[in-house]
Amino acid sequence: MLTQTITTTAVPAAKVFPAPRTPTASTTDQFSVIASCAGVIATEFSYRKDEEIYGEGEPSEYVYQVIRGAVRTYKLLNDGRRQIRAFHLPGDVFGLEPGLAHRLTAEAITDTTVRLVKRRSLEAAAGSNVQVAHNLWTMTACDLRHAEDHMLLLGRKTATEKVATFLLEMDRRLAKAGMMALPMSRRDIGDYLGLTLETVSRTLSQLNDQGILVFSSARQIVLRNRQRLADMDA
């Protein structure tokens, strides 16, 4: 929930199948175009590490874009387990709900800044601007495709295949100068992949022993053999 001061602002990958689709640069541009339209109210807001952005069941009054940091969206199951649906990184859009209430909870993984756009202003802009309506439809379709791919990931892959898929996805989205710095913990990764913390740690250690990756720190990884990783995921 919003508790801090809001400041108004003007606003070739390895073959992986079926890997969760991630928002592309064009999706980022689409939302930036929407946020700059006349009548669309955009603000920036900062959250501390592990701070809740919105909770499940709360009114979906805003759509969000990560400016800096990272966000996880998740659902708590009846038995207390947590299923992470997605990790949102800089440029990604989240909180675009079909109903009037959020179906998931969103939390900042690290200190994070997001852009908020009032849903009501988006709907008004979409009603009068064909490009805005098209961009919103495209982002919704991408989100649905990610959900479908994530469902396949959870239900049809082994632990090693799941970790391989995740690493290749993060490599595409995060890697700089050959290294990726993961903002999320191994427990987060396990809750995203439907694995225990122990299984994630053991699988990463096995990949390290096989020379497929190396750790420069607990969360900084260099992939040494992307092809072998892709073969595991095929």
200: domain CATH number is 1.10.10.10
Q: How confident is the model over 21-71, as pLDDT tens digits? A: 444 445 556 666 566 665 677 889 999 999 999 999 999 999 999 999 999
Q: Which amino acid is at 182?
A: L
For residues 102 and 187, membership in a common domain is answered with: no
DSSP 179: B
Contact in structure between 146 and 104 (CB atoms under 8 Å): no
Q: Do 170 and 107 belong to one domain?
A: no
Coil/strand/helix, residue 71: strand
Element (H, E) at 44: strand 42-47
User: Domain span at residue 77?
Assistant: 7-155
What is the C-alpha to C-alpha distance for residues 177 and 134, in angstroms, rounded to an integer? 35
97 and 191 belong to one structural domain: no
The pLDDT value recorded for residue 8 is 39
How far is the C-alpha of 221 from the C-alpha of 23, rounded, in Å?
22
Query: Which residue, 155, 173, 192, sits at the end of a domain?
Result: 155
Give the domain-ending residue among 155, 177, 199. 155
Residues 60 and 165 in one domain: no
pLDDT surpasses 80 at 129: no
pLDDT band at 145 (very low <50, low <70, confident <90, very high): confident
State the average pLDDT over residues 98-114. 95
Structural domain contains residue 1:
no
Question: Among 99, 129, 155, which residue terminates a domain?
Answer: 155
For the entire predicted model, the pTM comes to 0.79
Q: Which residues contact 150 (CB under 8 A, 6 or more apart)?
A: 20, 85, 86
